[in-house]
Amino acid sequence: MTPKADFYSGIGIAVFSAVFFILSGTYPASEQGLGPGGFPKIVTGTMFCLGVLLSINSFINMKRGMKDIVKLNGKDMLQVLILAAAFLAYIVVIKYLGYVISTPLFLFLFLYLYGDRKWLRMVLVSIIGTAVTFVLFKYLFQIYLPEFYFF
Amino acid sequence: MQDILMGLVDTFQPMTILVMFIGIIGGIIIGAIPGMSGSMGIILLLPLIYRLDTIPSMVVLAAMFCGSMYGGSVSAILLRTPGTPSASATVVDGYPMAQNGQAGKALATACIASAFGGLVSGICLLFIAPQLAKVALSFQAPEFFALAIFGLTLMASSSSASTIKGLVSGFFGLLLSTVGVDLISGNMRFTFNSIKLMGGFNILPVLVGIFAFAQVFLDLSKKDEDTVVQKTGSLRSMLPNRKEMKAILLPMIVGSVIGVSIGIIPGTGGAIACFLAYEVAKRFSRHPEKYGTGYVEGIAAPEAANNGTTGGAFVPLLTLGIPGDTVTAVMLGAFMLVGIRPGPQLFTEASHEVYTFFMAFIIMQFVMLIFGLGGTKLWSKVLNAPRVVLMPLILLFCFLGAFTLSNSTGDAVIALIFGLLGYFMQKFGYPGAPMILGLILGPMAEQNLNRALLISHGDWSVFLTRPISLAFILVTIASIVYSVVSANRKKKHPKGASK
């Protein structure tokens, strides 16, 4: 149970749905059928009701003294965001450095973020993981993988 | 009959057999690792299925599904941690057997029961699915719209403790499906002047993000725990003797029937079937007092049931395009990527492929039996593999899967965004499967709603005046009411809920 988080997420869902409901109203009306905005209006209208319902429900639970069991741990979230940023950097870098150079660097960084400190294993996993996937995808599946392209 | 025979012959094509082996072995390994499920296995297969023809790609996905169902029992028996939710009931008798030095026998029983359940479900699939498809051929726009909403609400109300959260997830998926060019009017919707959003959201990056990236992110906060893996013994000592085989026959039959029946109902799945089968088999047993103490019958019933759901879940998936559980929801997305559009038309447009798939499904149960029994020692070794090594490789495969789609990194960025969304959704109890289903069923729902209103000149009562459409709507309402009532009951009686 996460009544406090549900209360706020319910409000968030209601606001989000309201914005998209208004946006749906900007599409031209149709003489026949629902028109381009009709279906999104039904969907966002329902989502708005669900968001409000979720907030009311969790508000009642909060009043009954129910507390959040699952909480977002700041350290965990930071780790997730760092990994996501590292992955985003990998996606950008791979275009220039190519798969073969950027992938072992990313895998090594990933293992470090994951808490591994066995350096030999980290190096081996990074190199072997890259080599195996490169051969598998490039030669067996015949998929183009980004190559070194710096100049 | 001719279709069945031709399907049988085509099943033995070298490529089909090869991918069946890959799917079964991969499925057992994925299923054995706690926290990994058939959904993750299917996502990891996506780069492979791009290179395959229709039949092998369908077969490898189904083999992964079946293998993961059995694989879940490996960690349930050896670690007391079910590899998949469907193996939850196997822990009750499996782990005590392992503690009594009979881990090998428990695994062998689980494998035999899994193959038996899968075989029964495959035979049912072969005979039930074509009949249901014939009925579904008479569906028109109102029925298809009602069916889409029925499938979505069933999945939403059963995949989360909170029906509201499940529905929010499902309707968010429907909203995502409206992004891009409106196929009827040609208008742009929610693209915010972005060229990349004009084509809408492709299912693959969303799948990869919600099910694979999110899992990797969730796993970051877990550390490798010291696991005590029970020893399995030799193959000869593992196999149940004649007396034990006789004892597990009835639980296997009970489990299979329950598994198939539960699997056919959309929105259910192996987790429900395994506990129900366990309870029913216990009631039928001559020795109900032995259940829970490390008894072979207590493994046979749930394992036959969870594999029984596999074939059952394919019935609504292939005939109506409505998945039976989370794994088949992911599979539906994978089928569409390789050009297979499940639904009643599939049986007329691609009957050869469908019947070959049915026969392959039956054959793969024997393959699973052979690999399952033969590789018991190997599967127990999988449990010792450090997650720190597995996770980066999984992430790399996910990237490659998303990259393969259009040979661009754009889809990998979308997968990453949905991975973060999936992480927060899981943290706060919003299930991912209804969202995926909403994204898949959105176009079907919208187009058929429009068609139905055009036919009826804007009269909404068209959905209530047609019997099949009305039936779907009534069942939809009933399922929502039932899940709300049962959730309230669980809140009032938490002890009962834990069972």
Identify all chain B residues contacting A57, using CB atoms and an 8 Å cutoff: 164
Q: pLDDT category, B495, cuts 50, 70, 90? A: very low
Q: Which of B291, B294, B199, B218 is nearest to B254 (CA)?
A: B291
pTM for the predicted model, two decimal places:
0.82
pLDDT of residue B496 exceeding 50, the answer is no
Whether B265 is covered by a domain: the verdict is: yes
Question: Both tokens of residue A9?
Answer: 């997420």
Nearest C-alpha of chain A: how many angstroms from B166?
A: 10
- Report the pLDDT value the prediction gives residue B173, as an integer from 0 to 100: 94
Identify all chain B residues contacting A39, using CB atoms and an 8 Å cutoff: 178, 445-446, 449-450
Candidates A87, A95, A102, partner chain B, best to mutate (most B CBs within 10 A): A87
* pLDDT, tens digit (0-9, with 9 covering 90-100), for A5-14: 899 999 999 9
Average pLDDT over residues B320-345: 84
Interface check for A103 against chain B (CB to CB < 8 A): the answer is yes
Lowest mean per-residue pLDDT among B28-42, B208-222, B482-496: B482-496
pLDDT of residue B66 exceeding 70, the answer is yes
DSSP string, A25-75: TTSPP-SSSS-TTHHHHHHHHHHHHHHHHHHHHHHHHHHTT---SS---HH
Q: pLDDT category, B76, cuts 50, 70, 90? A: confident
pLDDT of residue B498 exceeding 50, the answer is no
What's the maximum distance between 2 C-alpha atoms anywhere in chain B?
71
* pLDDT, tens digit (0-9, with 9 covering 90-100), for A37-90: 999 999 999 999 999 999 999 999 888 877 766 666 788 888 899 999 999 999
Whether B401 is covered by a domain: the verdict is: yes
Say whether A47 and B187 touch across the interface (CB within 8 A): no
Nearest C-alpha of chain B: how many angstroms from A95?
A: 8
Q: What does the angle CA B342 – CA A45 – CA A30 come to, to the nearest 5 degrees?
A: 75
Q: pLDDT category, B392, cuts 50, 70, 90? A: confident
* pLDDT, tens digit (0-9, with 9 covering 90-100), for A110-151: 999 888 888 999 999 999 999 999 998 888 777 788 887 655
pLDDT of residue B499 exceeding 50, the answer is no
Higher-pLDDT residue of B57 and A71 is: B57
pLDDT of residue B297 exceeding 50, the answer is yes
Q: pLDDT category, B34, cuts 50, 70, 90? A: confident
Q: pLDDT category, B233, cuts 50, 70, 90? A: low
ipTM of this complex = 0.92
- Report the pLDDT value the prediction gives residue B154, as an integer from 0 to 100: 78
Say whether A33 and B217 touch across the interface (CB within 8 A): no
**Residue the block writes with tokens 């996501």:** A84
- Report the pLDDT value the prediction gives residue B255, as an integer from 0 to 100: 93
pLDDT of residue B380 exceeding 90, the answer is no
Lowest mean per-residue pLDDT among B46-50, B280-284, B301-305, B356-360: B46-50
Nearest C-alpha of chain B: how many angstroms from A63?
A: 15
Nearest C-alpha of chain B: how many angstroms from A145?
A: 8
Whether B179 is covered by a domain: the verdict is: no
What 3-state DSSP class applies to A1?
A: coil
Candidates B168, B338, B454, partner chain A, best to mutate (most A CBs within 10 A): B168
- Domain hosting residue B273, numbered range: 2-140+204-434
Residue A99 burial by CB count (10 A; 0-12/13-18/19+): exposed, middle or buried? buried
- Report the pLDDT value the prediction gives residue B416, as an integer from 0 to 100: 93
Please, what's the b/e burial string for B354-372 (b: 16 or more CB within 10 A of its CB; e: otherwise)?
bbbbbbbbbbbbebbbebb
CA distance B237 to B108: 10
- Going from N- to C-terminal start, the domains of chain A cover 3-63, 74-140
How many percent of chain B have pLDDT more than 70? 93
Question: Both tokens of residue B279?
Answer: 């309870």
Interface check for A72 against chain B (CB to CB < 8 A): the answer is yes
Domain count, chain B: 1
Whether B220 is covered by a domain: the verdict is: yes
Identify all chain B residues contacting A30, using CB atoms and an 8 Å cutoff: 185
What's the mean pLDDT when you consider all of chain A? 88
**Residue the block writes with tokens 């994925």:** B30
Q: pLDDT category, B497, cuts 50, 70, 90? A: very low
